[in-house]
Amino acid sequence: MNNIIKKIFIIILFPICLYSEEPKNDFKELYSKVKEKYSSIYPKTFEAYIEGKIIERQISTIPTKNYTSSKDKIKLKFAFTQGTKPTIILENVDSFYKNMFEIFEGVLETTGFYAIVGNSQNFNSFSSKFTFESLKEESEKYKISLRAKGDNKDYSITYTIDRENLLIEKAEYYNKKSKIYDVDIFYTNIEKYTLPEIIKYKSLDGAINSEIKFVNIKTSSK
């Protein structure tokens, strides 16, 4: 009798298990496609300067005694190499202030396009940072929801991906179930590459409504 009951449970649960694995497998397949896409449209490395009012406001708080050059030469330099996380260094200030924007490295890393081709070399390493929650198809877009692991497990991200070109267009950040802010990503074509040009940030409480722009972009295939 017990064996019969066990078989019934197996018959009932087997399709449920299969169904629960399907969305994750679909996401794994989509992850591979997006990673392949970004690996092909990004150069091996690229550098740029980041401009924006939010950058200017932060620079204006630096005392002149910490300048190593004139104020107009203080610029925020961005660098990215596939397989690593982005780095942001403030030029022409002393060592105390050169890393003042370091906190934004993590923000840019999770914006989407760096999470895919950055530190996460494969799906397993990507999965060590995020828990897959859902994958939806809406019109011409994919909607992927991921939850951070570890100490940041209350935070989740929903990415909007264009189904045709597989570019990540938007990231929505949540604390538990409450949306914190939106990030919109706009791209530009430089030579044979497609790179982020403008990133717009908007918090739901209105405290943040700004954008940053990548300028003087330099690329390298080495």
- Which residue segments constitute the domains of the chain, with CATH numbers given? 2-220 (2.50.20)
Give pLDDT tens digits for 64-121: 999 999 999 999 999 988 877 788 999 999 999 999 988 777 777 766 556 665 555 6
How far CA 125 is from CA of 40, 152, 154, in Å, comes to 20, 17, 20
Residue of 122 and 192 predicted with greater confidence: 192
pLDDT of residue 19: 39
Question: 10: pLDDT confidence band, cut at 50, 70 and 90?
Answer: very low
Size (the chain), residues:
222
Residue of 47 and 39 predicted with greater confidence: 47
pLDDT of residue 15: 41
pTM over 0.75: yes
- Residues in Cβ contact with 112 at an 8 Å cutoff, skipping those fewer than 6 apart: 159, 168, 171, 183, 185
Among 124, 119, 126, which Cα is nearest to 82's?
A: 119
Among 62, 121, 69, 82, which Cα is nearest to 219's?
A: 82
Give pLDDT tens digits for 132-156: 888 898 889 999 898 888 888 898 8
pLDDT of residue 9: 39
pLDDT of residue 97: 95
d(CA 130, CA 221): 29
User: pLDDT at residue 14 above 70?
Assistant: no
Question: Which range has highest mean pLDDT (19-23, 35-39, 52-56)?
Answer: 52-56
pLDDT of residue 118: 58
User: pLDDT at residue 13 above 70?
Assistant: no
CB 164 within 8 A of CB 140: yes
d(CA 27, CA 211): 30
pLDDT of residue 105: 78
Give the mean pLDDT of the chain: 82
